[in-house]
């Protein structure tokens, strides 16, 4: 009973510790996802391992004619068949089993008697190996911000060996079977172990973990801890920070813990915290990318309100009186970074800024008044496929707009009368322009060729979850397996 309690406490502590790891986002693979990933990996492996070279073998042995020195060269393994396989998660590792494997080994052999007369012989051999089973236990750690695969344990159970030898005396068959076959077994085991490591780590290198957005802004996704593997899920905690590549500063927003998973029905789930969006907003604001000058030509032609002083006779009477028949320019800027927050009700973005109103005289701007503005918007998010990555995208819906008069060159006026006009401008012009950018989204680190199947969205406190099944369509890539 005490042992059972200790085991329960151990698994509970692992779950609690992993869920408390601060991260910008977390990507979780479920058992359903691992099963599909194993199917894809085996399919790729069978294609890539159709011809596998094995290191030449050399040694000494006793024979009916005396002590020999032998060599096996040009060893190739080909024609792999993997009828059965499985992959499951265990605490801290992935266990992969390959059953009833069949393959063909070809080699050149030769031997030379060590004492005089130095008798020698050479030839070739073909070995068909069938009904063999292999098991691998693999760990995954964080190395230089990326996942790193390592074979922790391996075992093999070779079945039948159908040996055909060309050349050699009759006694050489038993020697070959006793010595060469043992060497071949070890070589195949080592080569498979090394190739599994290398192939998976080469695939990791194909995943981009850093993307340029707009000059000089980049987004990076390094792992912040070793992946957490339980018997049900495998979770990768990622930073997800947007930064100025020319003048990187520590973000004012801290990384916060987010759950590992909330939906285990799909193959994979990405939980995105507030950190990536808030570091994006801070970086864009500090680099001057949250400024815009609104002119009349930006307004749709159907809109009755124009950015012209004649449109504000009833709203701000002093404006057309002092500056009759003049075009208006509104310089918009965020004075502090917008803040994104997630709750179970959805996403919310609060922006604070200034609207500097000027009239245009010839090519000069004459300042008339400045408003302090607070904009509250609700948000939706989704994942979408791009030509080179999967993107986290979204859009905003205008909620509440608050305006206060900060400075005026035309005297005080009732800002409340201006709110209806500003609501129309923001709802029909400003927010749609912002949504064009948000619809493009931020790229996420994904394996090239991954497609989304029936993604679902769930909002939680301080995070949003995108759970999805996936489909893999292999792009033209080249992995070394020699």
Taking the C-alpha atoms of residue 373 and residue 406, their distance in angstroms, rounded to an integer, is: 10
Alpha carbons within 13 angstroms on the beta-carbon side of residue 361 total 9
- Say which residue the tokens 């035309």 belong to: 410
**What average pLDDT does this structure show over 394-413?**
96
The answer on pLDDT for 202 being more than 50 is yes
pLDDT at 46: 74
223: which strand partners?
238
pLDDT at 44: 76
- The DSSP element (H or E) to which 113 belongs, if any, is strand 93-113
pLDDT at 188: 77
376: which strand partners?
350, 400
Strand, helix or coil for residue 450: strand
29: tokens are: 């693979």
**What average pLDDT does this structure show over 409-437?**
95
127-170 tens-digit pLDDT: 999 999 999 999 999 999 999 999 999 888 999 989 998 988 87
Share of the chain above pLDDT 70, in %: 94
Q: How confident is the model at residue 51 (pLDDT cuts 50, 70, 90)?
A: confident
**Do the first three CATH levels of 31-207 and 210-471 match, i.e. the same topology?**
no
Q: Where are the beta strands (DSSP E) in 258-410?
A: 268-273, 291-294, 328-334, 339-343, 346-361, 364-385, 390-408
Q: Are 367 and 359 in contact (CB under 8 A)?
A: no
Judged by average pLDDT, the poorest of 115-124, 405-414, 428-437 is: 115-124
Domain boundaries, the chain: 31-207, 210-471
pLDDT at 386: 83
**What average pLDDT does this structure show over 41-53?**
75
- Residue 474 CB coordination number (10 Å): 12
The answer on pLDDT for 374 being more than 50 is yes
294-311 tens-digit pLDDT: 999 999 999 999 999 999
pLDDT at 420: 92
- Residue 396 CB coordination number (10 Å): 22
CA dist list (Å): 405 to 172, 180, 273, 328: 100, 90, 35, 17
- The DSSP element (H or E) to which 421 belongs, if any, is helix 416-425
CATH number of 210-471: 3.15.20.10
The CATH H-level superfamily of 31-207 is: Bactericidal permeability-increasing protein; domain 1 (3.15.10.10)
Phi/psi of residue 296, each to 5°?
-60, -35
| Residues across the chain | 482
Q: How confident is the model at residue 175 (pLDDT cuts 50, 70, 90)?
A: confident
pLDDT at 97: 94
Taking the C-alpha atoms of residue 248 and residue 300, their distance in angstroms, rounded to an integer, is: 39
**What average pLDDT does this structure show over 251-271?**
90
pLDDT at 417: 92
Statement: the pTM of the whole predicted model exceeds 0.85: no
Q: Where are the beta strands (DSSP E) in 274-338?
A: 291-294, 328-334
Judged by average pLDDT, the poorest of 5-19, 72-86, 388-402, 415-429 is: 5-19
Strands 233-238, 228-229: parallel, antiparallel or unpaired by DSSP? antiparallel
Whether the CA torsion 170, 172, 175, 176 is positive or negative: it is negative
The answer on pLDDT for 77 being more than 90 is no
Sheet architecture: strand order including 228-229: 228-229, 233-238, 25-30, 268-273, 463-472, 450-460
Phi/psi of residue 412, each to 5°?
-75, 150
Taking the C-alpha atoms of residue 130 and residue 417, their distance in angstroms, rounded to an integer, is: 85
pLDDT at 12: 32
Strand, helix or coil for residue 422: helix
pLDDT at 88: 96
206-234 tens-digit pLDDT: 888 999 999 999 999 999 999 999 999 99
Taking the C-alpha atoms of residue 200 and residue 481, their distance in angstroms, rounded to an integer, is: 11
Q: Are 195 and 208 in contact (CB under 8 A)?
A: no
**What average pLDDT does this structure show over 355-362?**
97
| Whole-number average pLDDT of the chain | 89
Q: How confident is the model at residue 19 (pLDDT cuts 50, 70, 90)?
A: low
Angle CA 256–257–263, to nearest 5:
130
pLDDT at 17: 42
Phi/psi of residue 323, each to 5°?
-130, 75
313: tokens are: 């006779």
């Amino acid at each position: 009973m005490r042992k059972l309690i200790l085991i329960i406490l151990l698994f509970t502590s692992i779950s609690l510790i992993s869920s408390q790891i601060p991260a910008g986002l977390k990507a979780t693979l479920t058992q359903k996802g691992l099963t599909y990933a194993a199917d894809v990996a085996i399919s790729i492996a069978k294609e890539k391992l159709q011809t596998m070279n094995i290191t030449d073998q050399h040694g000494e042995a006793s024979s009916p004619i005396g002590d020999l020195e032998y060599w096996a060269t040009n060893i190739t393994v080909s024609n792999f068949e993997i009828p059965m396989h499985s992959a499951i998660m265990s605490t801290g590792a992935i266990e992969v089993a390959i059953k009833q494997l069949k393959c063909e080994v070809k080699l050149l052999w030769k031997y030379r008697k060590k004492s005089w007369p130095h008798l020698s012989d050479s030839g070739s051999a073909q070995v068909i190996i069938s009904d063999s089973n292999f098991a691998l236990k693999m760990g995954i750690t964080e190395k230089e911000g990326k996942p790193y695969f390592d074979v922790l344990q391996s075992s093999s159970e070779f079945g039948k060996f159908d040996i055909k030898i060309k050349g050699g005396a009759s006694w050489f068959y038993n020697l070959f079977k006793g010595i060469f076959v043992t060497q071949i077994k070890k070589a195949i085991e080592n080569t498979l172990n090394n190739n599994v490591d290398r192939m998976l780590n080469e695939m990791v290198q194909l995943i981009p973990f850093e993307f340029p957005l707009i000059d000089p802004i980049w987004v990076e996704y390094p792992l912040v801890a070793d992946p957490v593997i339980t018997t049900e899920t495998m979770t990768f905690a990622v930073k997800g920070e947007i930064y100025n590549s020319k003048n990187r500063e520590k973000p004012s927003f801290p990384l916060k813990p987010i759950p590992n998973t909330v939906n285990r029905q799909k193959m994979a789930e990405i939980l995105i915290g507030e950190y990536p969006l808030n570091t994006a907003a801070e970086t864009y604001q500090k680099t001057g990318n949250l400024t815009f000058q609104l002119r009349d030509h930006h307004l749709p032609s159907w809109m009755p309100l124009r950015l012209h002083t004649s449109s504000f006779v009833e709203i701000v009477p002093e404006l057309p009186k002092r500056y009759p028949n003049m075009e208006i320019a509104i310089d918009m800027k965020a004075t502090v970074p917008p803040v994104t927050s997630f709750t179970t009700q959805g996403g919310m973005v609060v922006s604070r800024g200034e609207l500097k109103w000027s009239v245009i005289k010839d090519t000069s701007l004459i300042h008339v008044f400045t408003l302090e503005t607070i904009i509250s918007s609700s948000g939706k998010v989704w994942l979408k496929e791009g030509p080179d990555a999967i993107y986290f995208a979204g859009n905003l819906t205008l909620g509440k707009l608050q305006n206060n008069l900060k400075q005026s060159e035309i005297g005080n006026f009732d800002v409340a009368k201006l709110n209806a006009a500003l609501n129309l401008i923001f709802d029909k012009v400003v927010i749609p322009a912002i949504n064009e950018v948000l619809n493009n989204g931020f790229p996420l680190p994904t394996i090239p060729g991954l497609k989304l199947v029936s993604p679902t969205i769930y909002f939680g406190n301080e995070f949003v979850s995108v759970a999805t099944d996936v489909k893999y369509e292999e792009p033209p890539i080249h992995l070394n397996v020699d």
